[in-house]
Amino acid sequence: MTSSTVRVALRIRPLSPQEHASGETECVTQLPGVPQIVIGADRAFTFDYVFSPEVSQEQVYDDAIGPLVDQFLQGYNATILAYGQTGSGKTFSMGTGLTISVTQPELQGKYHVKIDM
């Protein structure tokens, strides 16, 4: 983790079946070894973390969220929020989607300290 008190993680979701069906293609390119992406040809952005479409809920949690929950339990304030346009994966990433089946352990999350805005 960096020492900044505000950290931003970018999670890139996979194309949806509808997007595949209508011929959409990925427009985000990840740069290897650094938390950076390029949109289109030349618009680069740097984050504290970048999670590719293959990254699991558990890995997102372990890398970006778990340490904050541990600090929270030691008495420090922590706020975790999901931000993005509709359909970008906020509810999915927070594990609060009503359609998520509790029979899928990978999607259940680990704690109930979650805020989805």
Ligand X SMILES: Nc1ncnc2c1ncn2[C@@H]1O[C@H](COP(=O)(O)OP(=O)(O)OP(=O)(O)O)[C@@H](O)[C@H]1O
Q: Is 91 among the residues that bind ligand X (CB under 6 A)?
A: yes
* Total binding residues toward ligand X, as defined by CB under 6 A: 12
Q: Which of 3, 86, 103, 104 binds ligand X (CB under 6 A)?
A: 86
Q: Is 95 annotated as a binding residue?
A: no
By CB under 6 A, residue 89 contacts ligand X: yes
Under rule CB under 6 A, which residues in 12-71 are in contact with ligand X?
13-14, 16
Closest-by-Cβ residue to Mg ion is: 91
- Residue 103 has, within 13 A of its CA and on its CB side, a CA count of 0
**Closest to 30 in 3D by CA, of 56, 52, 8, 54:** 52
| Dist CA 15 CA 61 (whole Å) | 21
Residues 96, 84 contacting (CB under 8 angstroms): no
Least Å distance, CB 42 to ligand X, is 26
Helix (H) or strand (E) holding 19: helix 17-21
CB-based closest residue to ligand X: 89
- Binding positions for ATP are 84-91
